[in-house]
Amino acid sequence: MRLTTAGSPRNFDGAIVGRLTLTDLPFDKRAQSVRLVVGEDPRTTDDRGYRAMLAAETLETNQPVIERLREVDHFRDGDVVVLEGKSGFIRSLYRPNERHHSLFVTERCSSNCLMCSQPPKDRDDIPALSERNRELIALMSPAPPYLTITGGEPTLLGEGLFELIRQLKVSLPDTELHMLTNGRTLAWPEYTAKLAAVEHPNLCLGIPLYSDCAGEHDHVVQAQGAFDQTVAGFHQAARHGIRLEVRVVLHMLTIPRLIKLAEYIYRNLSFVEHVALMGLEYVGYTPRNIESLWVDPFDYQHELEAATTYLAIRNMNVSIYNHQLCVLKPSLWPFARKSISDWKNLYLPVCEQCREFERCGGLFKWAEKKHSVHIHTL
């Protein structure tokens, strides 16, 4: 769960990554820890040996510290956090008790999708984020069962991506690794061969495809030639035995050819192990493009059912993400997944008494502003 708070930084400029402790530790166990001081006498706190300090009040210390924190209730023992000396922000990078975990590797991207939930920024953030992620991986304990590499576009790390995956292979060998990529860089055989050569045993690539028509896909991702590169990337990855998933975001530009796209996937990409049909997120670029993107999920049930059924009866593994059960046809319920990350998840007041509450995946928290008008209690 990515949570952010802030306070007043002192005694450092850069970023410090550490494992949070809410209680005092023996001196020999402090080197990787960030001590949070709440409800104690800050004048008597022993700060020796800690990587950094956090405090709800002003703290007498010469250690790197962020004090006078705005909020502390969300912090848990064992969380991995990053303290940013310039801004005073504290970001939770890893929370062992949550279900969903990710490594954010860059804000840069080679596409510019109309509904991008993380709009790209053209700045060289890769060195700083790579160092942060190396430290984060070393501190992930217990190992997460499932971890997503995301951005931006991870393949823009170049050789650095292979180094990252090698570290994950060694440090978290049993963790299922899912990398979200536009797949375009994979069209280059040499790059894909190097990725495969890392031989991570649990790596799967999630790659979007928005139409069976090249021009329509290129329009959605705002990049000419992207369709050809993405399809070539699928095939190059498959040749090297890399596991693959197709991801389709459902909106006004993708729904009209959704059934044709399902046919295309079956005929041309039958080697993928999963197809995810995903609801639109009302965040990032989507609000500014909403007039050309929004269609109520209730209104595309025919296309969604036809595409899902087409793939399922041909033994392709298909799932529906980011949809509420009350707007789906009951025939689609077996395909619906609780896919929204913990920190993004929301249920409306009307959901609270629903008999399917525990089974339903709910909404994105920013869906309060835009969601199906057909959401109701079952």
pLDDT score recorded for residue 40: 83
pLDDT score recorded for residue 308: 98
Q: Are residues 127 and 260 in the same domain?
A: yes
Place of tokens 């990855």: 237
Residues near 113 by beta carbon (within 8 Å), at least 6 away in sequence: 208, 220, 221, 222, 285
Helices (H), the chain: 126-139, 159-171, 189-197, 214-221, 226-239, 258-268, 290-293, 301-312
Closest CA to 337 of 289, 276, 296: 276
CA angle 148, 283, 79 (to 5 degrees): 40
* 105 contacts 152 by C-beta, under 8 angstroms: yes
Would 311 be classed as within a structural domain?
yes
Residues near 12 by beta carbon (within 8 Å), at least 6 away in sequence: 52, 64, 83, 85
Q: Are residues 143 and 50 in the same domain?
A: no
Q: Are residues 158 and 108 in the same domain?
A: yes
Q: Are residues 143 and 72 in the same domain?
A: no
Would 233 be classed as within a structural domain?
yes
pLDDT score recorded for residue 168: 98
Would 376 be classed as within a structural domain?
no
Q: Are residues 151 and 278 in the same domain?
A: yes
Place of tokens 């595309």: 300
pTM: 0.94
Would 375 be classed as within a structural domain?
no
Would 221 be classed as within a structural domain?
yes
Can you give the CATH number for the domain in which 33 is found?
A: 3.50.30.10
pLDDT score recorded for residue 2: 54
Structure tokens at 339: 């896919």
Q: Are residues 262 and 191 in the same domain?
A: yes
* 363 contacts 369 by C-beta, under 8 angstroms: no
Range of the domain at 19: 4-94
Closest CA to 199 of 233, 236, 234, 173: 173
Q: Are residues 279 and 315 in the same domain?
A: yes
Helices (H), 43-179: 126-139, 159-171
List the pLDDT tens digit at each of the 378 positions of the chain: 457 899 999 999 999 999 999 999 999 999 999 999 998 887 788 999 999 999 999 999 999 999 999 999 999 999 999 999 999 999 999 999 888 899 999 999 999 999 999 999 999 999 999 999 999 999 999 999 999 999 999 999 999 999 999 999 999 999 999 999 999 999 999 999 999 999 999 999 999 999 999 999 999 999 999 999 999 999 999 999 999 999 999 999 999 999 999 999 999 999 999 999 999 999 999 999 999 999 999 999 999 999 999 999 999 999 999 999 999 999 999 999 999 888 789 999 999 999 999 999 999 988 888 999 999 999
Domain end residue (candidates: 33, 63, 94) = 94
Would 307 be classed as within a structural domain?
yes
Q: Is 70 helix (H, G, I), strand (E, B) or coil?
A: coil
Residues near 77 by beta carbon (within 8 Å), at least 6 away in sequence: 20, 21, 22, 23
pLDDT score recorded for residue 99: 85
- Count of structural domains, the chain: 2
Would 300 be classed as within a structural domain?
yes
Using CA atoms, how far residue 240 sits from 141, 229, 232, 255, 275, in Å, is: 31, 17, 13, 32, 20
Q: Are residues 61 and 141 in the same domain?
A: no
* 52 contacts 83 by C-beta, under 8 angstroms: yes
Residues near 294 by beta carbon (within 8 Å), at least 6 away in sequence: 251, 252, 280, 370
Q: Are residues 76 and 208 in the same domain?
A: no
Q: Are residues 189 and 295 in the same domain?
A: yes
Domain end residue (candidates: 94, 112, 133) = 94
Domain end residue (candidates: 70, 94, 118) = 94
